[in-house]
Amino acid sequence: MVRLPGRSATRPPRPSGQPRAPEGPRKDTSGANGGRPGVLRSVTGGSVAGQVFVLQVVIVLLLVVSAVVAQVLQVQHDSSREALNRSLAVAETFAHAPGTAAALRAPDPTAILQPKAEAARKDSGVDFIVAMNTDGIRYTHPKPDRIGKKFVGTIAPALAGGTVVEKIHGTIGELVQVVVPVKDSGGKVVGLVSAGITTEHVGGTADQQLPLLLAAAAAALALATGGTALVSRRLLRQTHGLGPYEMTRMYEHHDAVLHAVREGVLIVGGDGRLVLANDEAQRLLDLPEDAEQRHVLELGLDDDTAGLLSSGRVATDEVHLVKDRLLAVNQRPTDLRGGPAGSVTTLRDSTELRALSGRAEVARERLNMLYDAGVGIGTSLDVARTAQELAELAVPRFADFVTVDLFDPVLNGEEPRPGTELRRAACSGIRKDAPLYPAGERIRFVPTSPQARSLTTGQSVVEPVLSEAPGWLAQDLERTEQIVAFGIHSLITVPLRAGTLVLGLANFYRSEKPQPFDAEELALAEELVARAAVSIDNARRYTREHSMAVTLQRSLLPRSLPEQGALEIAYRYLPAQAGVGGDWFDVLPLSGTRVAMVVGDVVGHGLHAAATMGRLRTAVHNFSSLDLPPDELLGLLDELVGRIDQDETPADGAAVTGATCLYAVYDPVSQVCTVARAGHPPPALVHPDGRVEFPDVPAGPPLGLGGLPFETADLELAEGSRLVLYTDGLVEDRDRDIDEGLELLRDALGRAPDASPEDTCRAVLDSLPNRPSDDVALIVARTRVLGADRVAEWQVPSDPVAVSEVRASVTRQLAEWDLDELSFTTELILSELVTNAIRYGRGPIGVRLLRERTLICEVSDRSTTSPHLRYAATTDEGGRGLFLVAQLAERWGTRYTHNGKIIWAEQPLP
């Protein structure tokens, strides 16, 4: 119901000459029937009377509470002051009492002072009197078990002759205490006396007065409440139970509702006169300024609209043409519930509603496109793919053709360099035959082109009519003429900005829609490009970091395998789809024609994992040069990984937290491969007959855990066997467990029984169901045997005379191998090594010659002492043997075995 200012809040004004409609019974809210309902309602606070009642009660209550709190605080303050004065008086009286100073110097001060202190305490009403020496050791206390213990409180000022007053938590609770000095006749402080009262006793006076205070407060509150209730009852009758909002609404409803709504509202009285018309109704019907109180037939309206308003009949969404507007009219009578005669009419402009609905639909579509841009652009960390996602999203929803041009360094993950030469990274359109520059082409924009201006200024450029844009036409006269002839007529060029960097341009072309791009569409294009620029910059940064990590990783992996004759080897390395991992492998030639193979996996991904992998690979190189057994080498790696973990600070968040490794050493002479593993998958063995098995190699703990030893397994491999080493990325994935992966590997190896290592690597990788998500390192090694015709062995007695026999046997053997050129140097090397073994070692002593890529001389004995190369002085008679060996041999060293050592030396074959 519409109310007018200054009139009744429950009825509209009655037109002159109009008889008053019968009123229904009104409910008495004044409380006249007994008075109780009005008082109760006032207490509820819903009306003005109720709010006044509550406010006055609250004020009285606050005053009463404040008075009670002030009185309690004053009593507590007076009690505390009284307690302090009493404690000070008692302490000074006891300190100055005759005999106190003498008693403190007596042999047993407690026996003299304790009875006096207790008597004084009981007479004075304090809680304690403590006498103590200058070190704070108690001589008296109400609780005898506290005597002899340190006094709790501050005594330094009292020792200087002053008085200490403080509140502390002592041995008998929270208390107020005073400490005064005890001086002898010469004025020297010989002791201290403390007296005090606990806060529990201090507050006793307040507790005694509190019931009386509360009773007085309750009486005052009751009297104030009764008086307030009488005042509120009177106010309730005067306001008829209305609240503040209802009373204010009588005067503000017209401005807040009628003049603010976007619908026209008309109130027509029962006599056909216009009672009220809001601003929107006056605008829609073009009413004169003095329209109110005039008959609706006199307002200059069309006959249909005027007839509807004067009839007062019910109408629902009737459409009336008023001048150039189509109005939807609704009309209802006002006397349905006892109201005055007349009607209320509402008007809606359906013409404006349709236009508004169209704008809302366009806005909704733009919001949907921005939402789709947020979830559809940047789905991958690839720069070109992200640019293509922007182009595909905007076609055809925003533009008919979209191109994205980027600086070449951006495509490679680097920061853009200033210039106007870009490469077309993406192109999309409603047709494929548009004469635009194709994707991948390098474009140099002329200075007058909108693209060059956008790159220079960093601002968007709109060319509403391309055929009239000379700067754009000058880019390529032939191509721009073809573009205009194709039907492309409008362009928006927006720079791809990421912070202060301009990564490139996004170009939006229109051909199908005849209207050129406007300012709203420019804002949408900038918002769309701004979101895409963030994703493109993220992809650029990822490309840069990924390239750096891959470069680091590749530099740490072997670029080629060393030459050796014991194994025919092929390998593969597949990096992870995202980031770089810590998988690695290596092949290391050892002494005695043996070859070591190693594969490992550092936990985690990224630069830290790749760098740690390089450290471990370097460590394996160093440890393998010592000719250590596989289990000992893994033990040293375990300690190294543990130290690496300890060196990483928690703030770095990049601890290695372990690594896995498998280390195998193959000897082509004995055809034995010794294998040890640390948390790594076992190797696969393909026998010459095609049978595939996974040898039982003891599984040690991953590197870095420490505490448990590693064990080895010796595998006897027939010539032509294939040993397959791999990392867990080959057999384990988030879509399959390791058992399924091992079976896939077994099937792939079994399908090619006679395949070469290279073909085996290809077959294994081709058998994978999809690209692994983790790094994969794979080594396939086919065994070879160093035949007996290339190995010569002799047993040497522990007699210096036997050295000449060894030289003769070696000379004959070299002659059989057509290596007479090496006879002299070989005799010198073996003479020195055998002589040292006879002198310093333990028998039996053995000599072995191996002819492979080099000539290898080995001398073995049962001693574990290692020879050291030293440089003899000119006056020394000996000490030049190993120096000669080192000069004559290409390499030499010591290899320990389980029952002794072997000293070896290599010479290149002629």
Chain segment 862-907, per-residue pLDDT in tens = 888 777 665 544 444 444 567 778 788 888 888 888 888 898 898 9
- Which residues 6+ apart lie within 8 Å of 148 measured at CB? 137, 138
In percent, how much of the chain has pLDDT > 90? 27
- Which residues 6+ apart lie within 8 Å of 886 measured at CB? 869, 892
- Sequential DSSP letters for 711-736: -EEEEE--TT-EEEEE-TTTT-BTTB
Q: Rounded to whole angstroms, how far apart are CA atoms 666 and 295? A: 115
From the number of C-beta atoms within 10 Å of its C-beta (0-12, 13-18, 19+), residue 183 rates as middle
Convert 782-802 to b/e letters by CB count within 10 Å (16 or more is b). bbbbbeeebbbebebeeeeeb
Tell me the CA distances in angstroms from 824 to 173, 619, 699, 814, one per residue in order: 102, 38, 49, 10
- pLDDT tens digits for range 46-103: 566 677 777 777 887 788 788 778 777 776 677 777 778 888 888 888 888 888 888 8
- pLDDT tens digits for range 757-767: 999 999 998 88
- Which residues 6+ apart lie within 8 Å of 176 measured at CB? 80, 83, 84, 87, 165, 166, 167, 196, 197, 198, 199, 202
Q: Rounded to whole angstroms, how far apart are CA atoms 614 and 585? A: 10
Q: How large is the average pLDDT for residues 567-584?
A: 81
Encoded tokens for 491: 């362009």
- pLDDT tens digits for range 189-223: 889 999 888 766 665 555 666 677 677 777 777 77
- pLDDT tens digits for range 272-282: 888 888 888 88
Q: Rounded to whole angstroms, how far apart are CA atoms 19 and 193? A: 100
Q: Rounded to whole angstroms, how far apart are CA atoms 153 and 166? A: 8
pLDDT number for residue 868? 63
Confidence of residue 229 (pLDDT cuts 50, 70, 90): confident
* Pair 387, 425: CB distance under 8 Å: yes
Mean pLDDT of the chain: 82
| CB atoms closer than 10 angstroms to residue 871 | 8
Any idea which of 1-5, 298-302, 498-502, 902-906 has the lowest mean pLDDT?
A: 1-5
pLDDT number for residue 662? 96
Predicted TM-score (pTM) above 0.75:
no
- pLDDT tens digits for range 508-526: 999 998 899 988 889 999 9
Which DSSP state fits 690? Answer: S
Query: β-strand 189-198 against 128-132: which pairing, if any?
Result: antiparallel
Encoded tokens for 211: 């019931």
pLDDT number for residue 27? 41
pLDDT number for residue 1? 36
- pLDDT tens digits for range 682-708: 999 999 998 999 999 998 899 888 778
Confidence of residue 241 (pLDDT cuts 50, 70, 90): low
Tell me the CA distances in angstroms from 352 to 283, 325, 851, one per residue in order: 13, 9, 101
Residue 239 has pLDDT above 80, yes or no: no
Q: Rounded to whole angstroms, how far apart are CA atoms 441 and 452? A: 17
Q: Which of 462-471, 538-547, 638-647 has the highest mean pLDDT?
A: 462-471
pLDDT number for residue 681? 93
* Largest separation between any pair of C-alpha atoms in the chain: 155
Q: How many residues does the chain have?
A: 910
- pLDDT tens digits for range 340-366: 788 889 888 877 666 666 566 777 777
- pLDDT tens digits for range 133-191: 988 898 898 888 888 888 888 888 888 888 888 887 766 667 788 999 998 888 888 89
Q: Rounded to whole angstroms, how far apart are CA atoms 200 and 83? A: 11
Encoded tokens for 597: 């193979």
Tell me the CA distances in angstroms from 839 to 715, 836, 861, one per residue in order: 36, 5, 11
pLDDT number for residue 37? 45
Confidence of residue 36 (pLDDT cuts 50, 70, 90): very low
